Chain A
Amino acid sequence: MSMHKISVNDRDIICESGETVLDACLRENIDIPYGCRQGACQSCMVRSLQGPPPLAAQDGLKEVLRHQHHFLACLCYPQQDMAISISSPTEFFTEATVIEKSLLNAETVQLTLQCKETMDYYAGQFVNLKRADGLTRSYSIANNRLHANKLSFHIRRLAGGRFSEWAHQELNVGDKLEVSDPQGLCYYLPTSQENNLLLIGTGSGLAPLAGIVSEALHHGHKGAIHLFHGSREMDGLYWIEEMQELASQYANFHYTACVSRGDAPDGVVRGRANDVAMTLLPSLKGWRLYLCGHPDMVHQTKRQAFLHGAALQDIHADAFHVASATLD
């Protein structure tokens, strides 16, 4: 690997060896949107103007986009000089207004947005939310498909986090945001209704899972549905009563709240959500899994579930990668 020249916005910059195109642009103060820096949110999508980009930088992109040489700047280590265009022609944003904001617990806020256009999404997908100055982050849709132009989100506040702190402290009812097209493959389809479902989430990872549960119950899913929600301590959990209430209404829905540290009060299990789930459900052959939240939890649970008999194609996951440092 060595240094390569990148032509962008009528400028030539140098991409150092071992540096991604995204990092080079940011170092040179070039205005480029980004979010996760891990190839998940696709907000850093750019286009190569001189031939195909490195294949690895097109991971997860749709066929048509690959064809047009779009790629993810955060995954691209140039192998030759490149010319790129930043304006992403493909991501479609619609305007939305905050119509409700409430605290779910001390660190998690629920936002409900009224979108100008009707959104076509599946419960469990995520969107990119964009602030007026362009700052963009991914958040999972927390409701089911019934509310087609109302979307709700659970945003966990990270100390020093630019978007989440702002959403907690400054964003108010009546304010406007831009919302991208829904994305991601971690969603529920009302096919194979007999399959058992296992959903495991940490922190605000409950958001997409709650949407999936409500969608599945709405479609009269016949298999068992097991939801495990975990956090380190009690104050990281929320919706305990709501989920217990749902479990008492639907015989096939089972809910377990878990804390990995400190005392667990009655009705809450002590342990990591994924470990608790694996102990209670030793055989996952034929199960469909949904895993959302902390990237380490998602990674580890995928492996555990596979070893417990789940097929890889039945394991759906959204790791909540954050741009820097760790999310815990």
Chain B
Amino acid sequence: MSETTATLYEQLGGEAAVNAAVDIFYRKVLSDHRINRFFDNTDMDKQAAKQKSFLTMAFGGPNNYSGADMRQAHAHLVKKLGLDDTHFDAVVENLAATLQELNVPQNLINQVAAIAESTRNDVLDR
């Protein structure tokens, strides 16, 4: 009925879907040797909370991420640890793999990836 009016976030299953995805996604990121150094040495509970707000944003859910916040949050990673496109690609890849593991249809995965993609320049501070 309302298939056409449901938002991406609703189609994915809202907050419950984010909760289901966050541990899987964070676990993938921590096990990925290309990028896990960016997540090292941090308080895991705080880090998981950050992943949750990132996923909420990428799922098209309610969020208060702004481009300026994105820049500020990642600027030191770009400067000090050399965060670049390859790392960004790896995160998007892990995000897609998480959704596949949760049996999310490919057309929704593509929409999530597109939202994540839209933050690339802010994250990489350029």
Contacts and interface: CB of A to CB of B under 8 A. Distances in A.
Interface of A: 302-303, 306-307, 311-312
11 contacts: A302-B44, A303-B30, A303-B44, A306-B23, A306-B26, A306-B27, A306-B30, A306-B44, A307-B31, A312-B44, A312-B45
B48 interface: yes
A97 B88 CA distance: 59
A166 B79 CA distance: 48
Given A306-B26, A311-B23, A312-B23, 13 more contacts: A302-B44, A303-B30, A303-B44, A306-B23, A306-B27, A306-B30, A306-B44, A307-B27, A307-B30, A307-B31, A312-B44, A312-B45, A312-B48
A306 B27 CA distance: 7
Nearest to B43: A299
Contacts of B48: 312
Interface in B32-47: 44-45
Interface residues of B, number: 8
A interface majority secondary structure: helix
Most chain B C-beta atoms within 10 Å of own C-beta, residue among A302, A306, A311, A312: A312
Nearest to B40: A303
Contacts of B44: 302-303, 306, 312
A21 B48 CA distance: 28
B interface majority secondary structure: helix
Contacts, number: 16
CB-CB nearest 8 A-B residue pairs:
A312-B48, A302-B44, A311-B23, A307-B27, A307-B31, A307-B30, A312-B44, A312-B45
Nearest to B45: A312
A306 B26 CA distance: 9
Contacts of A307: 27, 30-31
Contacts of A306: 23, 26-27, 30, 44
A303 B26 CA distance: 11
A302 B44 CA distance: 8
B17 to A, nearest CB: 16
Most chain A C-beta atoms within 10 Å of own C-beta, residue among B26, B27, B44, B48: B44
A310 to B, nearest CB: 9
Nearest to B46: A59
Contacts of B23: 306, 311-312
A240 to B, nearest CB: 31
A300 to B, nearest CB: 11
A291 to B, nearest CB: 12
Contacts of A302: 44
Nearest to A309: B27
A1 to B, nearest CB: 15
Contacts of A312: 23, 44-45, 48
A306 B25 CA distance: 12
Contacts of B26: 306
Nearest to B31: A307
A182 to B, nearest CB: 21
A88 B26 CA distance: 39
Nearest to A312: B48
Contacts of B30: 303, 306-307
B101 to A, nearest CB: 13
A303 B45 CA distance: 11
A312 B22 CA distance: 10
A81 B45 CA distance: 31
A299 to B, nearest CB: 8
A158 to B, nearest CB: 25
A328 to B, nearest CB: 19
Nearest to B48: A312
B107 to A, nearest CB: 29
A306 B30 CA distance: 10
